[in-house]
């Protein structure tokens, strides 16, 4: 019996050893397989620094390698973390062979290519993070095989396609982050099935359609971010009952509708509320001011109206309050008094009430706001009074913007105490007195804008302390004295130096050469004199140089021809002499050249920009020759020219006298064709938006077949100028051809009886949509259509007829390039200025008859409005 038991024990021992050897062999084989795959992955990657994976040695266990994690028994690789190693190249498909992997982190690298399909073999995977790379392609369609996934983070890549329904089968998912890609299509309602989801980020894509109400089934969700997409419709009311939500962000979409006053009642845990840049209407929900823990309230760039509700004093945790660019106004008699409630918000960092209709004065208690306040936007309102000295108590301030108001008085010297200030924007007000020297204490200042005020005195030498300044705009004031050479010793200046439209005297210092990085220099309309220093050729980054309407003399420096990036050069209305430097014709980027009204002489260059005379202005230089023969002396020719010129002058004088007599027996007309002579104005979308109060309905003065017209006000030629901004509706068929036709027609036209085109704007709006507009002079008396109906005197009617006839005569017979046929002449397209001078407008259907031998057979297809046929 004992012998039998002994043999049985021996058998079990042998079996046990055998099984153990098999187990050890299998473990070794599996770990070796993981090692081989990792070595192959390493061979396909380039890291920064190169030795970041130096411990990945084939002769050692992967469990001892950096960035690799094994299970507790050291038998399999369960974690790989290659984040922030500067890795480039594709994601290796061998990743899919690490079958026991639970965590894969590849974020913050430069991975390219697509997500390998083998990644769906990782059935134990719980964390998948490939964010902040350059991954392209689509999200793998069978990713639901990785049923254990808790975190999927593909943020900041180049993924395209739609959100696959397969993702919504990952029932254990807690974080889904697809933000910052190129995904399109609608948001799948089935995302509402992810009952464990805590974070859902789909922002910064091109998703469209409505927000599905099914998202409200995510009752554990804390973060919902759908910002920067193309979502439309209204917010489903059920979203406002997601009681676990801490952050609700839908900014930069095309959402609309009223926001319920009690929106926050069903969101007790709300910390972040971001509804910026949409089309929301209604008033600011007062219930938000009852959420005592809320940190961010953002409604900027919507269509909200009404006043600021009470309760701001209940928000001790508030960090950002942004209600800019709406239609919100002050409560009757309160002015800006509501700001006093924010004194209790001791963590306030960002306050923006700009672009609204707030009135009143800036209260003295503004200085009692939080010392943590960094950004203060109060521009584009109706604020009056002066800037209180207490503003100097806001020691944490990095940005102060009070522009586009009616603030008067002096700039308080206390602003010089704000040593952390980086942007000071006080332009477009009525500030007077001189610029305080204390501003020189703002050594961190990057932008200073004091333009369009009534500031006098000299430019403080203390401005030389601006070690980080990139932009300086002191234009349209009454500054006098010289340009301090110390102010030009600012090598950090890289955007603009604008001192135009002041009373500055003296010469342009040689130190201008220090501005090697500046893009725009505008010193126009001052009293500067002397030579233009040749050292300006060191401004290698210069694209726009505008020094017109001064008294500069001497030759045009040859160094200007070395500024290869120059696109705009305006030296007009000075006292420059000599010839035009030949190397200016080598400036390939040059698009606009104005040398008019100087004393230039010699032959006009013929190449480069000079080959197209429509892009240059050289009139007012009597000795300038337009061809090589103009310098030859020919007595007979001189006599003939003299006689002809005398006769021509007499004819012109007699014609003008007769025309003046018949047209203006009772009404004196102001001719403004000289306004903005030879000047090319460049305006941005933001400037037009500010000029028209965010294209406010109150500023709309007309609606045409291709868009709307808004009244606005821009600073031009040193003074505010009323303008009419014609915008295009991009969804209207034919709007772009109309825009191009109008630009083509008006490009070469200049006549007192044509509505003056000041400039145009082709840009992107705040939603990155195409934006086209034309900026015209504003015609105060509207269209002829209105006056005909309301009655006009016979004399006024006669004057209008003469004006229109003169305008048409110019269009048909006197245009420089080719005759222009208006194609839509009617009373509504004839506009009257303040003196009832008639001017023809709206050239959207105009045709240029380039070929003068062309017959009018093309006119068989008639253009124009019903009841009107274009005159031929």
Whether the Cβ atoms of residue 713 and residue 691 lie closer than 8 Å to each other? yes
Whether 858 has a pLDDT exceeding 80, the answer reads no
Mean pLDDT of 820-836: 83
**pLDDT tens-digit series, residues 98-136:** 999 999 999 999 999 999 999 999 999 999 999 999 999
Nearest to 76 by CA among 63, 59, 92, 57: 63
The pLDDT of residue 796 is 82
Tell me which CATH code domain 456-628 carries.
3.80.10.10
Would you call 447 helix, strand, or coil by DSSP? strand
With a pLDDT cut of 90, the percent of the chain lying above it is: 64
The pLDDT of residue 722 is 87
User: pLDDT-derived band of residue 651, with 50, 70 and 90 as boundaries?
Assistant: very low
Whether 6 has a pLDDT exceeding 80, the answer reads no
Total Cβ atoms within 10 A of residue 54: 11
Whether the Cβ atoms of residue 639 and residue 616 lie closer than 8 Å to each other? no
The pLDDT of residue 415 is 98
The pLDDT of residue 798 is 84
Whether 249 has a pLDDT exceeding 90, the answer reads yes
Is 824 a residue of the active site?
Answer: yes
**pLDDT tens-digit series, residues 445-493:** 999 999 999 999 999 999 999 999 999 999 999 999 999 998 899 989 9
Whether 854 has a pLDDT exceeding 60, the answer reads no
Q: Is 700 annotated as a binding residue?
A: no
The pLDDT of residue 744 is 59
The pLDDT of residue 861 is 33
**pLDDT tens-digit series, residues 395-423:** 999 999 999 999 999 999 999 999 999 99
Total Cβ atoms within 10 A of residue 164: 16
Mean pLDDT of the chain: 85
Whether the Cβ atoms of residue 357 and residue 380 lie closer than 8 Å to each other? no
CA distances from 833 to 204, 327, 721, 753 (A): 47, 30, 14, 10
Whether 542 has a pLDDT exceeding 90, the answer reads yes
User: pLDDT-derived band of residue 311, with 50, 70 and 90 as boundaries?
Assistant: very high
Which residue pairs, CB below 8 angstroms and at least 24 apart, start in 554-557?
554/530, 554/578, 555/531, 555/579, 555/581, 556/532, 556/580, 556/581, 556/584, 556/595, 556/600, 557/531, 557/532, 557/533, 557/581
Whether 652 has a pLDDT exceeding 60, the answer reads no
Whether 17 has a pLDDT exceeding 50, the answer reads no
The pLDDT of residue 26 is 38
The pLDDT of residue 671 is 37
109 burial via Cβ count (<10 Å: 0-12, 13-18, 19+): buried
Separation CA 212–CA 192 (nearest Å): 9
Whether the Cβ atoms of residue 336 and residue 312 lie closer than 8 Å to each other? no
Structure-block tokens of residue 705 = 């077949």
When comparing pLDDT for 184 and 720, which is higher? 184
Query: From the CA atom positions of the chain, what is the Rg in Å?
Result: 36
Separation CA 379–CA 353 (nearest Å): 8
Fold (CATH) for 685-860: Transferase(Phosphotransferase); domain 1 (1.10.510)
Mean pLDDT of 500-520: 95
> Which is the catalytic residue, given 34, 225, 803, 824?
824
Whether 672 has a pLDDT exceeding 80, the answer reads no
Separation CA 464–CA 624 (nearest Å): 41
**pLDDT tens-digit series, residues 142-164:** 999 999 999 999 999 999 999 99
The pLDDT of residue 698 is 79
The pLDDT of residue 32 is 92
Show Cβ contacts of residue 523 under 8 Å, excluding neighbours closer than 6 positions.
483, 499, 500, 504, 508, 546, 547, 550
Whether the Cβ atoms of residue 485 and residue 460 lie closer than 8 Å to each other? no
**pLDDT tens-digit series, residues 768-793:** 778 888 888 898 888 888 787 666 77
Question: What's domain 23-135's superfamily in CATH?
Answer: Ribonuclease Inhibitor (3.80.10.10)
Whether 27 has a pLDDT exceeding 60, the answer reads no
The pLDDT of residue 740 is 64
> Which CATH architecture group holds 270-414?
Alpha-Beta Horseshoe (3.80)
User: pLDDT-derived band of residue 656, with 50, 70 and 90 as boundaries?
Assistant: very low
User: pLDDT-derived band of residue 825, with 50, 70 and 90 as boundaries?
Assistant: confident
Would you call 14 helix, strand, or coil by DSSP? helix
Mean pLDDT of 550-555: 96
The pLDDT of residue 816 is 56
Give per-residue burial for 142-152: e unless 16+ CB within 10 Å, then b: ebbbbeebbbb
User: pLDDT-derived band of residue 844, with 50, 70 and 90 as boundaries?
Assistant: low
User: pLDDT-derived band of residue 814, with 50, 70 and 90 as boundaries?
Assistant: confident
Would you call 137 helix, strand, or coil by DSSP? coil
């Amino acid at each position: 019996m004992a012998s039998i038991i002994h043999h049985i024990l021996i058998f079990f021992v042998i079996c046990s050893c055998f099984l153990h050897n098999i187990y050890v062999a299998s473990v070794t084989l599996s770990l070796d397989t993981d090692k081989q795959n990792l070595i192959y992955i390493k061979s396909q990657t380039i890291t920064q620094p190169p030795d970041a994976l130096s411990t990945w040695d084939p002769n050692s266990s992967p469990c001892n390698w950096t960035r690799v994690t094994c299970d507790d028994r050291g038998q399999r690789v369960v974690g790989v973390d290659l984040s922030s190693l500067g890795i480039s190249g594709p994601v290796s498909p061998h990743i899919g062979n690490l079958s026991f992997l639970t965590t894969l982190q590849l974020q913050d690298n430069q991975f390219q290519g697509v997500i390998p399909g083998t990644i769906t073999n990782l059935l134990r995977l719980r964390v998948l993070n490939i964010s902040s790379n350059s991954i392209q392609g689509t999200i793998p369609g069978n990713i639901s095989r990785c049923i254990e996934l808790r975190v999927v983070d593909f943020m900041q890549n180049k993924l395209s396609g739609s959100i696959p329904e397969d993702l919504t089968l990952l029932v254990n998912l807690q974080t889904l982050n697809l933000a910052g890609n190129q995904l399109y299509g609608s948001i799948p309602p089935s995302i509402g099935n992810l009952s464990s989801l805590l974070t859902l980020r789909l922002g910064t894509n091109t998703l469209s359609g409505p927000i599905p109400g099914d998202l409200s089934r995510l009752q554990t969700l804390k973060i919902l971010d759908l910002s920067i997409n193309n979502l439309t419709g209204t917010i489903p009311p059920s979203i406002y009952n997601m009681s676990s939500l801490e952050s609700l962000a839908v900014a930069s979409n095309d959402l609309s509708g009223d926001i319920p006053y009690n929106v926050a009642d069903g969101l007790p845990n709300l910390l972040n509320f971001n509804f910026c840049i949409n089309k929301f209407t209604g008033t600011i929900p007062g219930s938000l001011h009852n959420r005592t823990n809320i940190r961010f309230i953002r409604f900027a760039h919507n269509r909200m109206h009404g006043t600021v509700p009470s309760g701001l004093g209940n928000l001790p945790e508030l960090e950002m309050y942004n209600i800019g660019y709406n239609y919100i106004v002050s409560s009757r008699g309160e002015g800006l008094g509501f700001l006093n409630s924010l004194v209790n918000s001791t963590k306030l960092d960002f306050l923006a009430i700009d672009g609204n209709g707030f009135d009143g004065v800036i209260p003295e208690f503004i200085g009692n706001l939080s010392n943590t306040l960094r950004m203060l936007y109060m521009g584009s309102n109706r604020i009056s009074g002066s800037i209180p000295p207490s503003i100097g108590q806001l020691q944490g301030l990095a940005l102060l913007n009070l522009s586009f108001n009616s603030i008067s008085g002096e700039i308080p010297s206390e602003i010089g105490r704000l040593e952390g200030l980086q942007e000071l924007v006080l332009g477009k007000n009525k500030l007077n007195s001189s610029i305080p020297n204390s501003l020189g204490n703002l050594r961190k200042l990057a932008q200073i804008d004091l333009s369009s005020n009534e500031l006098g005195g000299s430019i403080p030498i203390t401005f030389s302390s601006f070690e980080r300044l990139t932009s300086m705009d002191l234009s349209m004031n009454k500054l006098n004295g010289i340009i301090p050479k110390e102010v030009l010793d600012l090598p950090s200046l890289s955007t603009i130096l604008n001192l135009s439209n002041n009373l500055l005297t003296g010469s342009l210092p040689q130190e201008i050469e220090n501005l090697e990085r500046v893009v725009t220099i505008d010193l126009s309309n001052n009293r500067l004199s002397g030579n233009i220093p040749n050292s300006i050729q060191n401004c290698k980054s210069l694209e726009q140089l505008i020094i017109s309407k001064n008294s500069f003399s001497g030759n045009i420096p040859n160094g200007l021809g070395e500024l290869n990036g120059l696109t705009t050069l305006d030296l007009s209305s000075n006292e420059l002499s000599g010839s035009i430097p030949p190397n200016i014709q080598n400036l390939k980027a040059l698009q606009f050249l104005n040398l008019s009204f100087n004393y230039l002489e010699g032959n006009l260059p013929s190449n480069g920009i000079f080959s197209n005379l429509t892009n240059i202005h050289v009139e007012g230089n009597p000795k300038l020759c337009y061809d090589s023969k103009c310098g030859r002396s020919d007595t007979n020719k001189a006599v003939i020219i003299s006689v002809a010129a005398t006769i021509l002058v007499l004819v012109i004088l007699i014609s003008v006298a007769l025309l003046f007599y018949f047209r203006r027996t009772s009404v004196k007309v102001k001719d403004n064709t000289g306004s903005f002579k030879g000047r090319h104005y460049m305006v941005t979308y933001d400037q037009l938006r500010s000029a028209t109060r965010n294209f406010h309905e109150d500023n709309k003065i007309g609606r045409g077949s291709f868009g709307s017209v808004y009244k606005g006000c821009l600073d031009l030629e040193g003074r505010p100028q009323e303008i009419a901004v014609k915008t295009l509706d991009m969804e209207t068929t034919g709007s772009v051809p109309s825009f191009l036709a109008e630009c083509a027609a008006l490009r070469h036209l200049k006549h007192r009886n044509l509505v003056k085109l000041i400039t145009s704007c082709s840009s992107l709006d705040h939603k990155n949509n195409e934006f086209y507009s034309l900026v015209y002079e504003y015609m105060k008396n509207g269209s002829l259509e209105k006056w005909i109906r309301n009655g006009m005197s016979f004399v006024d009617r006669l004057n209008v007829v003469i004006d229109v006839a003169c305008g048409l005569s110019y269009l048909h017979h006197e245009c420089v390039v080719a005759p222009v046929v208006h194609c839509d002449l009617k009373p509504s397209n004839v506009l009257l200025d303040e003196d009832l001078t008639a001017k023809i407008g709206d050239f959207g259907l105009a045709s240029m008859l380039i070929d003068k031998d062309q017959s009018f057979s093309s006119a068989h297809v008639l253009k124009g409005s019903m009841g009107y046929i274009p005159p031929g």
